[in-house]
Amino acid sequence: MQSDLVIPTIRFKKGTIEIIDQTRLPAEYEIIPLRSVESLCDAMKKLAIRGAPALGVAGAFGLLLGIEEKWRREGSWFFDSEKVDASDFPKDVSVSAISDQVATVADKIGGTRPTAINLFWALDRMRKVCEGNWRSTRDLINALYSEAKAIFREDLDICKRLGERGAALLKDGDSVLTHCNTGGLATSGYGTALGIVVAAVESGKRIEVYADETRPLLQGSRLTAWECKQRNIPVTIVCEGSAGYLMSKGIVSRVIVGADRIAANGDTANKVGTLNLAVIAKHYGVPFYVAAPYSTVDPSIKDGSQIPIEMRSEEEVKQFAGVEVAPEGAGALNPAFDVTPHNLIAAIITDEEIHYPPFDDIG
Amino acid sequence: MQSDLVIPTIRFKKGTIEIIDQTRLPAEYEIIPLRSVESLCDAMKKLAIRGAPALGVAGAFGLLLGIEEKWRREGSWFFDSEKVDASDFPKDVSVSAISDQVATVADKIGGTRPTAINLFWALDRMRKVCEGNWRSTRDLINALYSEAKAIFREDLDICKRLGERGAALLKDGDSVLTHCNTGGLATSGYGTALGIVVAAVESGKRIEVYADETRPLLQGSRLTAWECKQRNIPVTIVCEGSAGYLMSKGIVSRVIVGADRIAANGDTANKVGTLNLAVIAKHYGVPFYVAAPYSTVDPSIKDGSQIPIEMRSEEEVKQFAGVEVAPEGAGALNPAFDVTPHNLIAAIITDEEIHYPPFDDIG
C-alpha cells in the first residue's frame, strides 16, 4: 500500500488522540487533539470523526485516553504512537480500578453512536483484555495498548484485503456510485467501499466515481470528493435525487456502499439514503454491493428490524452548511441510517470473503 | 377558495411584473418588481420564480412587459392589474410590429427553461392572439392583455379543480410525501400536488405533509414547508435520502408530485429526484400520483425520452448560500429534471380528469 493512500484519520500520540476534523473539510484540513474522553465523545457525536471502522478505532483509543485522563501526571503520558511507558503509573491503583475505568469509559463512548456495531466490537475487545488474570497494572496497561494498536493496524490490513477482494468485481471503465464517505476518513486510513475503488485504480483499471453528496451532512461532497481528488480518481458530485437519472441512463454501472451493521441474514444498516439506492439499483439491474470489515456483521441480530437506528437533530436537516433553510417552527425527521434488506444486495464484500445471496453463510 | 389560501406568487401591476423572490424565502419575504424582459428572464433562470404553471403565467405577463418596455412613455404604462389603457400607444407602430415584438420576446423567454411545457404553451397562446386579423394596435393590445389575464385566472381555477379532484384520492389521516414545491408558489397561487393537500384539508381531512427538502435548491424545505406553515398544515421536512426509510416503515401513505411535462404515453418529467420516489413507491406499494394542469401534457411528444432535460450549473451542487461544500476542482452533474416512466405512476390527476394506467387517454 502506498503511504499516500493512507489518510491520517486518527492517531494516538503523546497521550492524545489526534483526528482530522471532518466537520471542516474540505475548506480546512485541520488535525485536532483530543485530550479528554468528553472531547472525544463530542467529536464522535458531531461527526468530526465518523465511519463505522474509524469509530471502532476511536473507541479503542478512547479507552487508553480514559486511563491517561484519570491517572497521568501533568506534562507526562503513558501511551505514545509507538510505545507505552507505565513506569510512573500510580502504585496505589489496582488492576480492578483500571478495569472499572475501562468499563465506565466504554459505556460513555458506546453511548455516542448506537448503530455502528464496529464501535461496540472494538470496545468489547478492549473490555475482554481486562478480563485476563493480570498480575500487575503495568501488564494490563501494556496489553490494552497492544490491543488498541492492533485494532488500528488490523483495520488498515482488513481494508486493504477488502479493497483487493472487491476490486476483482470492478471492470475497467466502470462508473461507481458511492454514498456518504467510505474512504480513508471512515477507517484507519484506507477505506471500505471507496477502498475497493482505490484498489481497482491501483491495479490499473480506469474507474470513475459518482459521489452522492449525502445530506444532511454532505460527507459525499465534502469528504469522498476530497479523498478522490487527493488520490487523482475522477469524481463527479451528484445530489441524491439524481440516482434514478444516473441509473436509468446507464451513467453508473455499479453502486458500492459501506455498512454500519450487518444482521445475520445480510440485512444492512448504512447511512440514510442507502436503501433508496438499493431499491433503484434493483429496479434498473445495476449491481448493488455492500463493503465492510467482517467485524461489521452482528451475528446476535437475526435481521435488520432489530438494528437500532440513531435519530439525529432536526437542525441538521433545517440548516445547510450553517445557513438556516427552513421556516421557523417547521419540524424535521432525521434518521441517520436506514436498513437495506438482503434481497436487494448483489454481494457483501468483507475482508474474509465475498458473500452472495442468499447470504446463508454470513452470520 | 379562501383568499388566504392564494399566495401572490406573480402579479402584473402598473406595467410591472411583481413576484415573490423565491430565492430568499423563507428567511425573507420580498416582492420584487421586474420592469424589463431581461430582469424577468434572469429571475426565471435563477428560479426567483419557478414551477411549471407559474412559468406559464410569467411567460404570458412577460410578453406584455415586452410591449411596455419597448413603447411606453416614461412614468406611464399600458397594462395594470385590472385594466389596459393603450390610448397613448404610439400611432406609428403597426400591428405587425407588435406581433414581431411578441415573437422576439417569446423566443427570449422560452429560452430560459427548456423542460416546463406550460411555459411554451402559454407563449403559444399569446402568439396565436397575434395571428388574428386585427384592425388596430389597440385591439391587439387589449386582446393580448385579456389572454394573459385569462392564463393567470384560469390557472387559479384549474388548480382549484385539480385540487378538489385529487383530494378525493386522499383519506383522512394520510401522510403525503411531496417533492420540490408544487404549491401556490409554483402556480398562480393555489398549487398542484400541494393544492390537493390544501383541498383535502379544507374539506376536513387530517393530512400530514412530509416535504422532501429537494436538493440542490431546497424548494421543499424553503418553500413547501413555508407554505404549509402559512396554511397551518402539519409539515415535517426530510432529506431525500430518507424516502426508503419513510416508505419501508409506512410513515408516508401517498406520494404526490407535480410535473413539468407529460408525454402522450404518460411519462412525466419533473424535478430531479421524482424518479427515485416513483421507483421506491412502486417497490413498497405506496400510491404515486402526478398532479398537473392538463396543459402540462405535451401530445406532440410520444414518450419521455424526447423531453429535453435542462442541465443546470455545477455550482448549485457544489455550494449553498455562498458556502462552498465541495473541494476545488471536483466536478458535479446537475440535471434539473428526470423522467418517470408511466408504468410507475398510479394516477395522473389533471383539472379535467384523473387518468389511470395504461394512460391511453392522456395524449
Per CB-CB distance under 8 Å, the chain B contacts of A229 are: 327-330
The answer, yes or no, to whether residue B53 has pLDDT greater than 90, is yes
Residue A153 has a CB neighbour count (10 Å cut-off) of: 12
pLDDT at B23: 95
For residues B7 and B227, what is the distance between their CA atoms, to the nearest angstrom?
A: 9
What Å distances lie between residue B312 and B46, B115, B186, CA to CA? 10, 12, 19
Per CB-CB distance under 8 Å, the chain B contacts of A278 are: 244
**Digit-coded pLDDT (tens) for B54-66:** 999 999 999 999 9
A260 catalytic, yes or no? yes
Cβ contact, residue pair A213, B240, below 8 Å = no
Whole-prediction pTM? 0.96
Place of cell 500520540: A13
Of A272, A314, A321, the CB nearest to B325: A321
For residues B202 and B2, what is the distance between their CA atoms, to the nearest angstrom?
A: 9
Here the ipTM equals 0.96
Cβ contact, residue pair B278, A244, below 8 Å = yes
pLDDT at A323: 86
SS3 per-residue string spanning A220-244: HHHHHHHHHHHCCCCEEEECHHHHH
Angle (deg, nearest 10), helices B274-284 and A274-284: 80
Residue A321 to chain B, least CA–CA distance (Å): 7
Cβ contact, residue pair A279, B275, below 8 Å = no
Of A234, A317, A338, the CB nearest to B213: A317
* Percent of chain B scoring above 70 in pLDDT: 99
Q: CB within 8 A of B91, min separation 6: which ones?
A: none
Mean per-residue pLDDT for B221-227? 97
**Digit-coded pLDDT (tens) for B285-325:** 999 999 999 999 999 999 999 999 999 999 999 987 778 89
CA nearest to B226 within chain A: A327
Of B236, B271, B279, the CB nearest to A333: B236
Contact assessment for residue B5 and residue B160, using Cβ atoms and an 8 Å cutoff: no
* Percent of chain B scoring above 90 in pLDDT: 96
Give every strand in the sheet of A337-340, ordered side by side. A297-298, A261-263, A268-271, A337-340
Place of cell 470492478: A170
Which candidate, B40, B43, B19, places its Cα nearest to that of B29? Answer: B19
For residues B170 and B142, what is the distance between their CA atoms, to the nearest angstrom?
A: 42
Residue A348 to chain B, least CA–CA distance (Å): 20
Per CB-CB distance under 8 Å, the chain A contacts of B273 are: 239-242, 244
Contact assessment for residue B279 and residue A244, using Cβ atoms and an 8 Å cutoff: yes
Place of cell 439491474: A285
Cβ contact, residue pair A272, B245, below 8 Å = yes
Contact assessment for residue A27 and residue A75, using Cβ atoms and an 8 Å cutoff: no
DSSP A336: S
Query: Domains, chain A, ranges and CATH?
Result: 10-159 (1.20.120.420), 168-355 (3.40.50.10470)
Contact assessment for residue B302 and residue B342, using Cβ atoms and an 8 Å cutoff: no
CA nearest to A227 within chain B: B327
CA nearest to A237 within chain B: B332
Q: Which of A155, A260, A267, A298 is catalytic?
A: A260
Mean per-residue pLDDT for B356-363? 93
Per CB-CB distance under 8 Å, the chain B contacts of A328 are: 26, 229
Cβ contact, residue pair A282, B282, below 8 Å = no
Cβ contact, residue pair B213, A210, below 8 Å = no
Q: Which of B155, B174, B260, B338 is catalytic?
A: B260
Per-residue pLDDT in tens (0 to 9) along chain A, 363 residues: 344 578 999 999 999 999 999 999 999 999 999 999 999 999 999 999 999 999 999 999 999 999 999 999 999 999 999 999 999 999 999 999 999 999 999 999 999 999 999 999 999 999 999 999 999 999 999 999 999 999 999 999 999 999 999 999 999 999 999 999 999 999 999 999 999 999 999 999 999 999 999 999 999 999 999 999 999 999 999 999 999 999 999 999 999 999 999 999 999 999 999 999 999 999 999 999 999 999 999 999 999 999 999 999 999 999 987 889 999 989 999 999 999 999 999 999 999 999 999 999 898
Q: Which of A333, A334, A340 to mutate to test the interface with B (most CBs of B within 10 A)?
A: A333
Cβ contact, residue pair B330, A228, below 8 Å = yes
Q: A327-363 burial, b for 16+ CB within 10 Å, e for fewer?
A: beebbbbbbbbbbbbbebbbbbbbbeeebeeebeebb
Cβ contact, residue pair B237, A326, below 8 Å = yes
Q: How confident is the model at residue B4 (pLDDT cuts 50, 70, 90)?
A: low
Residue A215 to chain B, least CA–CA distance (Å): 6
For residues B184 and B6, what is the distance between their CA atoms, to the nearest angstrom?
A: 6
| Maximum distance among all Cα pairs of chain A, rounded to whole angstroms | 69
Of B26, B215, B335, the CB nearest to A215: B215
**Digit-coded pLDDT (tens) for B83-139:** 999 999 999 999 999 999 999 999 999 999 999 999 999 999 999 999 999 999 999
Q: CB within 8 A of A78, min separation 6: which ones?
A: A15, A64, A67, A68, A71, A72, A84, A85, A86, A89, A141, A145
Mean per-residue pLDDT for B229-249? 97
User: For A159, phi and psi rounded to 5 degrees?
Assistant: -65, -40
